[in-house]
Structure 1
Amino acid sequence: MSPLQAAPVNRHYLDKVMAVAEIMAVEVIVDILDVRGMKLVAKGTQVTRVLQEKLILHKLRQPFESSVRVCGGVEPKAIVAIASRLIDTSPPVAHILRASGKGGASVLAQLARLEFGSALGMMLTVADRSGAHALEHAVLVSLLSICMAQKLRLSEQEQMVAGLAGMLHDVGELYIAPAYLARGKRLLPHEWSHIVVHPRIGQMLIDELGAYPAAVGRAVAEHHERFDGSGYPRQIGGSQISAPGQAVAVAEMIAGLLLKDHPLERAELALKIIPGEYSHELLSAISGALRMAAPEAGADPVRAQGGEGVERLFWRIAAILDVGEGLMVGPAAKSPSTLQLLHKTMERVRNIRRAFISTGLDVYVRPEPDLGVGADDMLLFEREVAGREIQWRLRDIARDLALQTSTPDERVVLAPLVRMLDDDLPGATPGGLVALPSPGRFKPAAGAANMQRRAA
Structure 2
Amino acid sequence: MGAEARVDGLEQEASALAQRPNIHCVDQFIDAAPVRDLVASEDIRDDKGRVLWTQGQPVTAEIRERLLARRLAQPLESTLAFRDGLTALELADAARALLAECEPLARLIGRNAQQVLALFGRVRFAGAPGTMLCTLSVNDRPAMRYALATGMAAAALAAMQGKAENIMLDALQAGLMRDLGELYLDPTLKGDTRKLSFEQWRSTCVHPIVSAALLRDAGVYADQAILAIREHHERLDGTGFPGGLIEHRISPLGRLLLTADMLAGILISEGHAALRAQLALRLIPGQFPRDAMALASERLRVDMRQVRIEVDLPKLERIADDVLQGLQRARKEAALLESLSSLSDSERRLAARLRLQSVQFEMALHDSGAMTALGHQRSALAGDREIVSELYLVVREMSWRLPGLRRHVELSVREHARDPAYWSGLLNALRIDIDPAAVDAA
Flag whether TM exceeds 0.5 (same fold).
yes
Tell me whether 1:29 sits opposite 2:41 in the alignment: yes
Find the counterpart in structure 2 of residue 112 from structure 1.
Answer: 121
Tell me whether 1:68 sits opposite 2:80 in the alignment: yes
Which one has the bigger helix percentage?
2
Q: Give the structure-1-normalised TM-score.
A: 0.84
Compared CA separation, residues 375 and 415, structure 1 to 2 (3 A) = same
| Structure-1 separation of matches of 2:303 and 2:327 | 37
Shift of 1:5: 9.6
The one-character-per-residue Cα deviations of 1:54-92 (angstroms, maximum 9, x if unpaired) are 211111112211101123233221110111112223332
Gaps of 5+ in 2: 1-13, 436-442
Mapped contact 1:223–1:252 kept (Cα < 8 A) = yes
Find the counterpart in structure 2 of residue 122 from structure 1.
Answer: 131
Compared CA separation, residues 422 and 116, structure 1 to 2 (3 A) = farther
Mapped contact 2:52–2:66 kept (Cα < 8 A) = yes
| Structure-1 separation of matches of 2:107 and 2:391 | 24
| Structure-1 separation of matches of 2:385 and 2:83 | 51
Of residues 308, 322, 329, the one that matches 1:312 is 322
Find the counterpart in structure 1 of residue 277 from structure 2.
Answer: 267
Of residues 236, 246, 254, the one that matches 1:245 is 254
Tell me whether 1:53 sits opposite 2:73 in the alignment: no
1:289-438 alignment to 2 at 5 Å? 289-291=299-301, 301-304=308-311, 309-330=319-340, 333-366=342-375, 368-370=376-378, 373-404=381-412, 405-406=414-415, 410-425=419-434
The one-character-per-residue Cα deviations of 1:250-274 (angstroms, maximum 9, x if unpaired) are 1111112112222221111110111
Shift of 1:301: 4.3
Shift of 1:413: 3.5
Of residues 273, 288, 305, the one that matches 2:298 is 288
Mapped contact 1:402–1:418 kept (Cα < 8 A) = yes
Find the counterpart in structure 1 of residue 174 from structure 2.
Answer: 165
Find the counterpart in structure 1 of residue 165 from structure 2.
Answer: 156
Compared CA separation, residues 137 and 392, structure 1 to 2 (3 A) = closer
Q: Secondary structure at the match of 1:334?
A: coil
Q: Which amino acid aligns with 1:59?
A: R
The one-character-per-residue Cα deviations of 1:387-436 (angstroms, maximum 9, x if unpaired) are 2334433322211122230489734443443243132237xxxxxxxxxx
Q: Give the structure-2-normalised TM-score.
A: 0.86
Compared CA separation, residues 42 and 5, structure 1 to 2 (3 A) = farther
Q: Secondary structure at the match of 2:81?
A: strand
Shift of 1:176: 1.2
Compared CA separation, residues 287 and 304, structure 1 to 2 (3 A) = farther
Find the counterpart in structure 2 of residue 199 from structure 1.
Answer: 208
Shift of 1:336: 4.6
Find the counterpart in structure 2 of residue 144 from structure 1.
Answer: 153
Mapped contact 1:5–1:60 kept (Cα < 8 A) = no
Q: Secondary structure at the match of 1:244?
A: helix
User: Which piece of structure 1 moves more, 400-409 or 193-202?
Assistant: 400-409
Larger Rg: 1
Compared CA separation, residues 415 and 130, structure 1 to 2 (3 A) = farther
| Structure-2 separation of matches of 1:199 and 1:188 | 19
Q: Which amino acid aligns with 2:280?
A: A
Compared CA separation, residues 343 and 89, structure 1 to 2 (3 A) = same
| Structure-1 separation of matches of 2:258 and 2:18 | 33
Compared CA separation, residues 334 and 74, structure 1 to 2 (3 A) = same
Shift of 1:294: 8.7
Find the counterpart in structure 2 of residue 442 from structure 1.
Answer: none
Tell me whether 1:13 sits opposite 2:32 in the alignment: no
Q: CA RMSD of the aligned region, Å?
A: 2.7
Shift of 1:220: 0.6
Compared CA separation, residues 191 and 76, structure 1 to 2 (3 A) = same
Of residues 81, 103, 114, the one that matches 1:91 is 103
Mapped contact 1:11–1:56 kept (Cα < 8 A) = yes
Find the counterpart in structure 1 of residue 7 from structure 2.
Answer: none
Tell me whether 1:215 sits opposite 2:227 in the alignment: no
Number of equivalences? 417
The one-character-per-residue Cα deviations of 1:255-310 (angstroms, maximum 9, x if unpaired) are 1211222222111111011122112221122222134x799xxx994334766622
| Structure-1 separation of matches of 2:45 and 2:150 | 37
| Structure-2 separation of matches of 1:183 and 1:424 | 14
Q: Secondary structure at the match of 1:212?
A: coil
Find the counterpart in structure 1 of residue 140 from structure 2.
Answer: 131
